């Protein structure tokens, strides 16, 4: 069992403070939903957790079990088991899905691997990727597609989920808020999370898509406003947000509204 613990996190972009003291704890096996109005800082939290250089942590800590990862580079975090879909390149010309994933898996599993160094064996890798594609119900031919070359919204999401399945992270952070997901894409993510989340993996899903939450009922729903998590509840909170929007939450927290 692992714990991702975020304490009093303050994050600035340039000179502007965006996150103003975020506390959040996720254990492996738990699914947490993060919701909140546009501009409240949800993506900023995701980027800061990914170690994105534009998002400066000015106070607070992020710990993975006993390891303080607050200052770590993105690739170090990945090796420790953090997965953030968007930290990876959008298009790499001439690279197939399988090649890309073989490198990604090798980098994460073998921290000492230098560029051009040893990759996981082709035989082992092929077995694994087919196993995961079959489990996710993705056609095996997907492995031979060129990375993101003409991918539909649903295929991009499929790529994120296949990558998550191959890397087997301890914590996955999925920012699905502003991506303009169509029904196909939402289904891909929702089924993927349902199949992959479990004892070994904790998931923070940033979303307002009910379908994503319907199939992956989160034990915990958090509402972010003005750079803080102002309310945490169970599935009933997600339901209230769906039915009434943020009005009721704003009324309960006039200071944040």
Contact residues: Mg ion, CB under 5 A = 38, 42-43, 177-178
List 80's β-bridge partners, or say none: none
Q: How far is the CB of 240 from ligand ADP (least distance, A)?
A: 19
Nearer to ligand ADP, 38 or 114 (CB): 38
CA–CA separation, 63 and 2 (whole Å): 10
Q: Alpha-carbon distance 59 to 21, whole Å? A: 8
- In angstroms, the first-to-last Cα distance of the chain is 36
Number of residues interacting with ligand ADP: please give it, by CB under 6 A.
Answer: 12
Shortest distance, position 138 Cβ to ligand ADP, whole Å: 28
**Least distance (Å) from ligand ADP to the CB of residue 252?**
19
Segment lying near ligand ADP (by CB under 6 A), choices 32-40, 56-64, 98-106, 245-253: 32-40
Helix (H) or strand (E) holding 174: strand 171-175
- Asked if 13 is part of the footprint of ligand ADP (rule: CB under 6 A), the reply reads yes
CB-wise, 43 or 132, nearer to Mg ion?
A: 43
Tally of CB atoms within 10 A around 36: 26
What distance in Å separates the CA atoms of residue 245 and residue 257, rounded to the nearest whole number?
Answer: 13
Look up residue 86 and give its DSSP letter.
G
Asked if 98 contacts 105 with a C-beta cutoff of 8 angstroms, the reply is no
Two structure tokens written together for 176? 């699905």
Taking the CA atoms of 88, 156, 55 and 167 in sequence, report the sign of the dihedral they define: negative
Q: Given the rule CB under 6 A, which of 31-39, 140-148, 238-246, 249-257 is the region that contacts ligand ADP?
A: 31-39
Q: Which does 192 bind (CB under 5 to 8 A by kind): Mg ion, ligand ADP, none?
A: none
If the CB atoms of residues 177 and 220 are measured against ligand ADP, the closer one turns out to be: 177
Query: Of 12, 28, 43, 207, which lies in the binding site for ligand ADP, with binding defined by CB under 6 A?
Result: 43
Residues found near ligand ADP in the complex (CB under 6 A): 13, 18, 36, 38-44, 54, 177
């Amino acid at each position: 069992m692992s714990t991702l613990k975020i304490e009093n996190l303050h994050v600035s972009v340039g000179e502007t403070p965006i996150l103003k003291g975020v506390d959040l704890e996720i254990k492996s096996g738990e699914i947490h939903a993060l919701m909140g109005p546009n501009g409240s800082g949800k993506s900023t939290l995701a980027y800061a957790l990914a170690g994105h250089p534009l998002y400066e942590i000015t106070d607070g800590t992020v710990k993975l079990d006993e390891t303080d990862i607050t200052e770590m580079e993105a690739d170090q975090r990945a090796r420790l088991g953090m997965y953030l879909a968007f930290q990876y390149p959008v298009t790499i010309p001439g690279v197939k899905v399988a090649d890309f994933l073989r490198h990604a898996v090798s980098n994460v599993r073998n921290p000492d691997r230098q560029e051009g160094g040893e990759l996981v064996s082709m035989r082992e890798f092929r077995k694994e990727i087919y196993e995961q594609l079959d489990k996710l119900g993705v056609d095996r031919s997907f492995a031979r597609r060129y990375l993101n070359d003409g991918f539909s919204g649903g295929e991009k999401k499929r790529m994120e989920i296949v990558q998550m399945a191959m890397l087997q992270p301890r914590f996955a952070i999925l920012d699905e808020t502003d991506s303009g997901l169509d029904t196909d894409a939402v289904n891909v993510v929702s089924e993927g999370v349902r199949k992959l989340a479990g004892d070994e993996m904790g998931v923070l899903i940033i979303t307002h898509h009910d379908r994503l939450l319907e199939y992956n009922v989160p034990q915990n729903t958090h509402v972010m406003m003005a750079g803080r998590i102002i309310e945490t509840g169970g599935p009933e909170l997600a339901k209230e947000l769906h039915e009434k929007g943020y009005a009721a939450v704003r009324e309960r927290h006039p200071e944040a509204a």
